[in-house]
Structures are given as structure tokens and as C-alpha cells.
Amino acid sequence: MSVMNQPVTIERLREIGSAFARHDVEGIVNAFDPEGEFRNAKGPDVWGQSFKGHAAIRGYFTALFANSSDVRWDHTAEFVHGDRAVTEWHRKATLANGEKQEWLGCDLYIFRAGLIQRKDTYIKVVG
């Protein structure tokens, strides 16, 4: 099996989740392929809002952590199959303006050579 087609592992998925838990922007960015894409659930397009490449992904997560320093994702399930993975989670955050957020959601991942090609987020807004 070539490196490009190696299946992702649950351990790799958990490493990425750990970077999110630490608010480690560089760890998150480096989990993505340099041309990788993060699709946020909210946005102007049918897919939400897309952030492509390391600079755009870094900018999004730097701003997110600055605006909600207590944001966390508690994983409730994780699945891997070949080059695809899914995480289900319960997200809680307090925005800088004091607004509380609480969502259930999931991320659909596509990997290549251990790096995220696309992370597509879906949410249910609670409240």
C-alpha cells in the first residue's frame, strides 16, 4: 500500500483532537495538508464557509480561540475507515461578549498520507 493510500488510524485522529483541546493552532494547522480545506458549518455557502491552505486555517482558529478562550469539544464517538474518519462531539464555549454556545456536531474527514485533505463540520445548535 502506498503512503498516499494508507488508512488513517484512530491514534492519528486522537492526536488531532488533542491539538484542538490544547488550543494548539500550529498543531491543528500542521495536521492539514498544505492545500487542505476546513469547512466551517456556518457561512454564506451551502457548505458553510471554506478555509483553504495553512494561512486561512491558521487565521480562522487563531480568531476562534481569541474570541472563545474556553471553547472545548468533548468527543462522544470516533470512527475511521480507510482514508476517512468521523468524530462526534459536544462543543461548549463562551464568547468574548459573554454569549454562551452549546452545540452537538460531527466532523467528516478525508485524509491523504496522514494529513487532513478536508475537515467538514456539521452542527446542531442547542437553545
pLDDT at 127: 64
Total count of domains within the chain:
1
Half-sphere exposure of 44 (CA within 13 A, CB side): 1
Output the domain CATH number for residue 95.
3.10.450.50
Instruction: Give the H or E element holding residue 68.
Output: none
For residues 65 and 10, what is the distance between their CA atoms, to the nearest angstrom? 25
pLDDT at 97: 95
Q: Which of 24, 28, 23 has its CA nearest to residue 116?
A: 28
35 CB burial (10 A radius; 0-12, 13-18, 19+): exposed
pLDDT at 7: 77
Mean per-residue pLDDT pooled into runs of 10, the chain (127 residues): 65 95 97 98 94 98 96 95 96 94 95 96 83
Q: Strands, E, within the chain: which ranges? A: 32-45, 48-52, 72-81, 84-94, 100-112, 115-125
pLDDT at 2: 41
Domain around 77: 3-125
pLDDT at 126: 65
